[in-house]
Amino acid sequence: MTLSIPDLTAVRARHPEAVAEAAARRVRRPLIGDSGRLMIVAADHPARGALAVGDRRLAMANRAELLERLCTALSRPGVDGVLATADILEDLLLLGVLDGKVVMGSMNRGGLAGASFEMDDRFTGHRPRDLARLRFDAGKLLLRIDYGDPGSLTTLESTARAIDEMAELRLPVFVEPFLSRRAGGRVVNDLSAEAVTHSIAIASGLGGTSAYTWLKLPVTTDPDDMAEVLRSSTLPAVLLGGDVGGDQEGAYERWRKALRLPTVQGLVVGRSLLYPATGSVETAVDTAVGLLREGGAAR
């Protein structure tokens, strides 16, 4: 049964079992397909209360519009899958658009944007056993470390245990590490080469095994530093896109350089493709897929 977006609420109210049924019949695929690269569209921001895109504070608040944009992105050639929280992934399951796609569940969303407890980023999303039960393909967690905030220790420990549980289930887990600090009441991620290198070293060593650990990494402030930064681990990595503001072309150029590096296996990009500063979702997604292919060919 394939639904339309207006049908979702009625099905959720009357047939909640439809989610499990849709998950059970979903056609799965390997994490890495024939291209040898991974292109994932991300939409797990709303669960942290992070709804802004650029200067549009509630850009991601309209769920029907977000789902339409996700469906468009997932329909484009070269897009391998999606990263999101349970509510969004279950909507997409019911819409029937996840067959043959990599489905990645977002695990820790407790560090709400702007909250006093933001660095105590608890696992309020998918548990490893939820991902296994729903036959999803991977999980993702955010690891922000503030040396001046005790909440980061809780996040570090819970991250290590999540990595252990994912490995026991033989499920890949994508760890997104940052060294962070508070500035003007906001948490700011340090994207300098030294900070990203330290974050990679810390994240790579968490848990009783790194066999199923991937890294989800930002491009450093100076993209020319990425080759040296990525020498700090042999773990496979994907680049994260983030909110590029109005400099979309600049972001594309930074991704282009980093995608040529040997440990970089793909891209995980959200707002800058779903809500591009200029042009359509189709154009933004196709451009990112082109950069990914170009980077693979250049290696």
pLDDT for residue 246:
64
- pLDDT tens string 183-217: 988 999 999 999 999 999 999 999 999 999 999 99
Q: Which residues contact 97 (CB under 8 A, 6 or more apart)?
A: 70, 71, 74, 75
Strand partners, 180: 189
Orientation angle between helical segments 63-74 and 281-298, nearest 10 degrees: 40
Q: What are the phi and psi torsion angles at 246 (to 5°)? A: -90, -5
Q: Could you please report the per-residue DSSP string of 65-106?
A: HHHHHHHHHHTSTT--EEEE-HHHHHHHHHHT--TTSEEEEE
Domains of the chain: 40-298 (3.20.20.70)
- pLDDT tens string 5-48: 889 999 999 999 999 999 999 999 999 988 889 999 999 999 99
Q: Which tokens in the block code for residue 126?
A: 């998918």
Residue 247, pLDDT above cutoff 80: no
- Global model pTM greater than 0.75: yes
- pLDDT tens string 118-143: 999 999 999 999 999 999 999 999 99
Q: Which residues contact 139 (CB under 8 A, 6 or more apart)?
A: 104, 105, 106, 107, 126, 128, 131, 162, 166, 171, 172, 173, 174
- pLDDT tens string 92-112: 999 999 999 999 999 999 999
pLDDT for residue 142:
97
User: Minimal CA–CA distance to 196: which of 204, 206, 187, 184?
Assistant: 204
Task: Specify the 3-state DSSP secondary structure of 263.
Answer: coil
Task: Specify the 3-state DSSP secondary structure of 269.
Answer: strand
